[in-house]
Each structure stands twice: as structure tokens, then as C-alpha cells.
A and B are shown apart, each in its own frame.
Chain A
Amino acid sequence: MTATTVTPTPHPAAKKADAGVRVRIRTSRLVLYTVLVVITGLMIGPFGWLIITGLKTTPELAASPVHWLPDSIQWHNFADAFTQIDFLGYARNSLIIALIYATLVTLSSAWVGFGFARLDAPGKKVLFGILLGSMMLPQMITLFPTYLIFAKVGMVDTYWPWVLWGLSAAPYLVFLFRQFFAGMPRELEEAAIIDGCGYATVFWRIFLPQSRPVLAASFVIAFTWSWGDFIAPMLLLSSDRTTLSVAIMTQYVTPGGLPVNNLLAAGSVMYVVPILLIFLIAQRGFVAGMSTTGLK
């Protein structure tokens, strides 16, 4: 009896343990994916709700309890959202400002980043410290008095503030370019400098063409900032020159001032989608940029 049991025991026992491990792995996998699906649902759900809200009628939005899905899908809300406010006009304003700002700030930040990465002079360390420190400065704090100054010199209701902000480089992007340029081999500029080229030529002819991915990342990041900005255009621009973000926030209302929630939601969808598309297209560079600057 003992003999017969002893020999086969290892086998079933091992098998049993093996199956146990497998079951445990399978359940832990199940838990893992359930958690993942629930969290992702919570993160993505709000987008879905915005779209659904945009497809309902006004009475459906007022119904209590909440009317989960529209009885008939109101596609025309999206068309109406275009006409209730001058959607395309505001989108054009947003686009112009974002293009001006993103182009200028990308070039100026690359230019400054080159200086910090490849050149030195007395005072560089201090300046770099100030640059990093200014990343910590809340922009809202400087924006308010800056607005007062812009008002004084007659730049309110013009796009000049964005030109100036663009020309003066953004510390965050300077840092991004600085990190990238610092990693490029020294031989790149040495020969050119010895041949008598100026640093500007070296920057323009050698470094800039090599940094297309960073340029793209910087452009996308700056474009997103500008597209999403609210306070600066609200303060600086009059209601017909302002950006889409301000118009959407303030203009989907009835003549009596009540919000038109379905058109607001439809308009919001169309405001957010371009940014999501740009992100999905430029994802790699965008994320790399975020992580580089966030890591140190």
C-alpha cells in the first residue's frame, strides 16, 4: 500500500500544485485586467458622456431622472454648434494665435537652448539656474500685471502679446532643446567653426536640421498650450477677436443667458478633438518631450 502510493504521489501532487499556480495566475490576471478596464472606463467615459450629451435634445437634458441615451440621435446639434457661435471664425483666431506662438517659441527656444547646450560664458550657471527657477514661476502670477502693461502700451485686442511671448522662448522648451543639443557630438560644430562659420550658421545649417523630432515635439506642446489657453485671450482679446476656448466657454447661451448644454457639449467635442488627434499623431515625440523635462 505504502509502496504503491509513494511512487505515484509526487506526480499528482506536483500536478495539483501546478494547476493551483495556474489558477492563481489566471485569477490574478483576471483581477488585473478588470482593474484596468474599470479605470480606463472611468478615464475615457467622460469623453463618451460629452459626445452623448451633444447628441440629445434640450428636453432630454432637462429630464429627471437622467435620460441616459438620446431617443433619436440629434446629429444636427453639431451643425448648430457651428452656427450658434461663429465657430469657424473663432477656430481661425485660435489657429492663427497657436501657429504664431508655436512657430516662434519653438525657434526661439531652440536658439536659446543651443546657447545653453553648446556655448559658455561667465554667468552661464547663474542664468541656467534662473531659467530652471522660472519654470517654477506660476504663469498666472506674471500674467495679471503683464496684462496691465500690455493694456498701457496699447497691445490689448492685438495678437502682439503672443508674438512677444513667442519670441522670448519658453523655459520648459529651452530645457527640452538644451537636453537634446547637449547630447550631440562636439565634432558637429568644431569643423564648421574652424572653417570660419559663425555659430548662427552652425545652428541653422547643422543643428536645426538634425533636431526635427524635438522641433515637432516642441511645436505640438506649444500649440496645445496656446489652443488650451483661456485666461490670456479672455483678458487680452475682445469678444470677436478671441479664441475658440473663450468663445465656447462663454457664448453657448440663450439670449437670456442660460447655457445651451447640448450645443455646448457638441462644440466642446469639436474643440477637444483636434488636440486629441494632434496628440495621437505626434504621440511619441510629445511623450518623450514631457518625460525629458519631467525627469530632472
Chain B
Amino acid sequence: MTVGQMPEAVRRPRPPAARKGAGAARSGGLPRTSMTARRHRAFYMFTAPWIIGFLLLTVGPMAYALWLSFTTFDGISPNWSFVGFANYRELLSDQVTWDSLSRAGVFALTSVPLSIVAGLALAVLVNRPLRARGLWRTLLYLPAVVPPVGAGLVFKALFNRDSGAANGVLNVVGIDAVAWLDDPYARYVILMAVLWAAGNVMIISLAGLQDVPRELHEAARIDGASAWRTFRSITVPLLSPVLLFQAVTGMIASVQTIMPLLIASNPTPAGVTAIPQTNYMYMMHVFAEYFALGRYGYASALLWVLFVLILIATGLIFKLTSGVVFYNVDPEAKK
């Protein structure tokens, strides 16, 4: 009925390594070489849609953006020119770029750890024997299913200055109404909107929790370990690959979040320059430069800088955690 029953389905695809071994020892019915050649051709036939799509819709646009970043192209004026690294030089001396970048950094460094901790806590909570456990899991996960647009609308209603429940609660405890959707509070609203979807981390951690061998917990209990100690020394290390994955995908999601736009009073390309300063994060800056100002060249330079920064950040996360993350079994290792 519920979220709680997924482990079978999750585990199902696991045995590939073992099966592959058995398959390799098959008795050849047809000459081996022609079979192999056929398999090779078939592999490329099957992966072609993705390869072609990747080249046309990912590599192509990225290369195009790289080329644009060395020009003054704006899509309209025919007198554009190559300017070498001028866009990159401008970007480095642009205070707006630095400010928006640091806002994005602060947002990533707060929203990602908070949602991982919240999601993990929820997972531990609903992994306990509870009455109607499946129902709790479903209810806690439900907000994570709501698309960003829906979440933006929900939080706009919740934090509206006049009609929002947040100010209603403040009023009850005697605090004056706060303009939540403006400076300087708007950043907390997007943070809460992100935390509202902590169910994503919960569901993935839950699957991980259920994979932690029961014997380990029992052994720890017999040895007299406290619940906290067991959690810290057994659960967290075994979950660390899952948490690492969450950290990386969470970081990337936080960098490209459009939540600032979605809770803005005018969520259009024209309105992006008017969103509250605290929410004017790097992605909004890129968006504004592209579609509000039409400075394709400069915006493309911003985009490439972000792309490189994300690559570096991802690499750093993997590097920093390489000694800490514990891989129990690597299903690919046997190949």
C-alpha cells in the first residue's frame, strides 16, 4: 500500500553481477565472433538515441554557449564581435556577480545539510515500529511530490503579508506582521520551501536504512551500545554513500533552484530583475542577463563559470569524503 514496502522492488535489480558471470560461460550456439560483432552493433543501435540527443541537446548547446561567451552577441543586433575574454574579465569585476555567487553558496551550504539532516531524521523516525507506518511515510513524503511551481504557490499563500498563516501565527504571539516575501526575509522562505521537500531525502535514506543488516544492530545492542552510538557508528557509515549522493545532487539542485523566481510577485523574465536582493542568486543573475537583458555573450560567460564551479565542487565533495564514505558492497566491482 505504501512507501514502506519498497525494498523488494529496490533490491530486485541487484543480482546482475552474479548472473552475468553465469552468462559468460554459455555454450556457443553460433560462431562467437559474429555473435560478438552483432552485440557490438546492437549496443550502438540501442544507445544511439541517447548519444545523438546528448550531442545535439547538451554538448551542442554548451559548445554554443562557450562560443557565445567570447562575443557580444545579443540575438538582435547584427554588429556583434569577438571580444576574447572581455566577458570573463567583466564578470570578475562585476559586484553583482560576486554577491549573487556568495548568496548561492550560502544557500547551498545551508539548504543541503539542513535537508539531509531533516530527511535522515524523518527516515529514522518512520523506520521505527509505528502504528499506520505507511500512512505517516506517505504524508511526510507528499510535499516532495509537489512540483516546484506548486511549492512556490503554496509558500506564496503561506507567507503572504496579509493573508498568510505565518503572520497569523506571529500575530497570535504578539509579533507584528512581517513582509516575508521581500528583503531580507525572502531567503528564509525559499529555505523552508526546500526543507518542505525533505521527504525526498527521507525516502532514499529509508531505503538505505532498510538495507542495513539487522545483525549489526543486534550485535551492537548486545555489546551494550546506546541508540545514539549505534546510529552514529553503524547507521551513518552504512548510509554514507546514499548521503554523499544526496549531498551532490542536493548541491546541484540548490544551485539551479528557481524558487526565488517562483515566489516573486512577477515570475517572468521581465520580473526577474525585481526579485528581492537576498534571493537574487547566481542562477537568477544568469537568467536575468539572458532573458531580461538579452546579453547572450555575457550571460554565457556566467553560465560557463557556473558549470566549471559545479564540476570543481562535485570533485571536491567526492575528494573530501573519499576517506569517510563507506562502500559496503559494490555491485559493479565484480565485472
Residues in A lying within 8 Å of B, measured CB to CB: 32-33, 35-36, 39-40, 43-47, 49-50, 53, 56, 60-68, 108, 111-112, 114-117, 119-122, 124, 127, 130-131, 134, 136-142, 144-146, 148-149, 151, 164-165, 167-169, 171, 174, 179-180, 182-183, 185-186, 190, 193-194, 198-200, 203, 213, 224-225, 227-231, 234-235, 245, 248-250, 259, 261, 264-265, 268, 271-272, 275-276, 279-280, 283-285, 287-288, 290-292, 294-296
Contacts and interface: CB of A to CB of B under 8 A. Distances in A.
Contacts of A288: 6, 9-10
A117 B335 CA distance: 12
Nearest to B257: A140
Nearest to A35: B125
Interface stretch (B37-45, B83-91, B94-102, B218-226): B37-45
B112 interface: no
Interface in B46-61: 46-47, 49-54, 56-58, 60-61
Contact of B157 (A193, A268, A292): A268
Interface in B161-195: 162-165, 167-168, 171, 177
Contacts of A194: 29-30
B325 interface: no
Contacts of B35: 193
B142 A49 contact: no
Main secondary structure of the interface of B (DSSP, over half): helix
5 shortest interchain CB distances as A-B pairs: A168-B53, A228-B147, A115-B46, A66-B168, A288-B9
Contact of B152 (A119, A198, A249): A249
A65 to B, nearest CB: 4
14 contacts: A36-B130, A56-B163, A66-B168, A141-B62, A142-B61, A146-B57, A146-B61, A179-B13, A182-B13, A249-B267, A272-B147, A275-B150, A279-B142, A294-B207
B46 A199 contact: yes
Nearest to A66: B168
Interface residues of B, number: 119
Given A138-B252, A142-B58, A230-B148, A116 B262 contact: no
B9 A144 contact: no
B42 to A, nearest CB: 4
Contacts of B296: 148
Nearest to B252: A138
Given A124-B43, A296-B245, A290 B204 contact: yes
A139 B50 CA distance: 15
Given A50-B157, A62-B163, A186-B23, 16 more contacts: A32-B128, A46-B158, A49-B164, A124-B43, A134-B54, A138-B256, A146-B57, A186-B20, A190-B26, A199-B39, A224-B145, A249-B153, A276-B145, A279-B142, A294-B207, A294-B245
A243 to B, nearest CB: 9
A148 B64 contact: yes
B138 interface: yes
Contact of A136 (B16, B47, B145, B248): B248
A294 B255 CA distance: 19
Contacts, number: 322
Considering residues A111, A144, A228, which has the most beta carbons from chain B within 10 angstroms of its beta carbon? A144
A230 B61 contact: no
Interface string B224-254: 0000000000000000011001101100100
Contact of A186 (B26, B177, B287): B26
Nearest to B118: A39
B162 A228 contact: no
B207 A40 contact: no
B10 A295 contact: yes
Contacts of A203: 46
Considering residues A39, A65, A165, A294, which has the most beta carbons from chain B within 10 angstroms of its beta carbon? A294
Contacts of A116: 46-47
Interface in B298-326: 299-300, 303, 306-307, 310, 314
B21 to A, nearest CB: 10
A165 B57 contact: yes
